[in-house]
Amino acid sequence: MPARILAANQDRELERVGEQVQAARRIARVCARARIVGVGFFDYNHAQTGVAPNAIELHSVLGFACLSG
């Protein structure tokens, strides 16, 4: 498949995904407090965005509950 066809397909797919993200943001509910259940994974700090002081992560999230509106 020529590169220009692949690039055009990629552009269309990125546009479609972008539209889905924008739609999700319009209906997203923000919780001041939430309970998140998952498997804890201690990573090392390698300049991740929003990393916790102890570099713990959840892999994967198994449950989520909004505790306040």
Q: What is the DSSP string of the chain?
A: --HHHHHHHHHHHHHHHHHHHHHHHHH----SSEEEEEEEEE---SS-TT--TT-EEEEEEEEEEE---
What's the domain range around 11?
Answer: 1-29
Q: Are residues 17 and 50 in the same domain?
A: no
**Same domain for 25 and 35:** no
Q: Is there a single domain that holds both residue 37 and residue 11?
A: no
Q: Are 45 and 55 in contact (CB under 8 A)?
A: yes
Q: Quote the CA–CA distance of 37 and 53 in Å, as a whole number.
A: 19
Question: Locate tokens 């209906």: which residue?
Answer: 27
pLDDT mean for each 10 residues of the chain (69 residues): 77 84 80 91 86 88 87
pLDDT for res 69: 63
If asked whether residues 41 and 53 sit together in one domain, one would say: yes
How many domains is the chain partitioned into structurally? Answer: 2
